[in-house]
Chains A and B, each alone.
Chain A
């Protein structure tokens, strides 16, 4: 038996796969889809036919996602970039080096924090040192990601 609500929910999730849109946007798109489905059902279509037809009218999910992207705030764009980066990380080959990198940096930061706590360094300087390490870690990870991706692309050729 065709479950219309479930089909609508699954389709909406596929449009906003990166989940970087507000619930309000999702609700608005859902309402639009239901309006079209109701119109088609009033014309005598079955729930499944109406759903398929409404989805086709609404457009390709990729096209809709592209339209939604034009409308994104800076924060949402950053969120999408992060989500994509995380999806890329799912590549099995990348997991081990990224994990090793994270552990190494965690050890470095912990070691430096311990050293600073035992030395006579003023608190403000200790805080500054640790604060500087965070962007260094981030930059280092970006370099590693890029190197891994270039390596993977090189192998792919």
Chain B
């Protein structure tokens, strides 16, 4: 089952930051990578990504620069900023905690009855 819209929205920033942590990238490649990582289940609307990237840039979590694609076309690349690394660590801690909570609940550890 594909993830809900809310789930997609909530996971977008940690996913983008994680992808950029492994190397500079650009919009189209980020969308393709998310599709591949999710086994085709997570389809980001193409128009959704850029406003998020621009917001991250304004928050100085990422920075952008113009490069040239193999085709010779101008291409905007994004690079993770140092504050982006810190933000990612914080987000990962939240997600890990949530995952741990769900795992414990599934294991029945927190059931009081």
Contacts and interface: CB of A to CB of B under 8 A. Distances in A.
Interface of A: 24-25, 27-29, 31-32, 34-36, 38, 57-59, 63-64, 67-68, 70-71
Given A36-B46, A67-B45, 9 more contacts: A25-B50, A27-B76, A31-B69, A58-B47, A59-B45, A64-B47, A67-B48, A67-B51, A71-B54
Contacts of B28: 31-32, 35-36
Interface of A is mostly: helix
A28 B47 contact: no
Contacts of B45: 59, 63, 67
A31 B73 contact: yes
Nearest to B45: A59
Contacts of B47: 58-59, 63-64, 67-68
B26 A31 contact: yes
B76 A31 contact: yes
B74 A27 contact: yes
A44 B29 CA distance: 21
B92 interface: no
Interface residues of B, number: 18
Nearest to A30: B73
Interface of B: 26-28, 45-48, 50-51, 54-55, 66, 69, 71, 73-76
B71 A38 contact: yes
B20 to A, nearest CB: 16
Contacts of A25: 50
A28 B51 contact: no
Contacts of A31: 26-28, 69, 73-76
5 contacts: A32-B27, A38-B71, A58-B46, A64-B47, A71-B55
A10 to B, nearest CB: 18
Given A29-B50, A59-B47, A34 B27 contact: no
Nearest to A27: B74
Contact of B73 (A34, A67, A70): A34
A28 B48 contact: no
Nearest to B50: A28
A71 B56 CA distance: 11
Contact of B46 (A34, A59, A70): A59
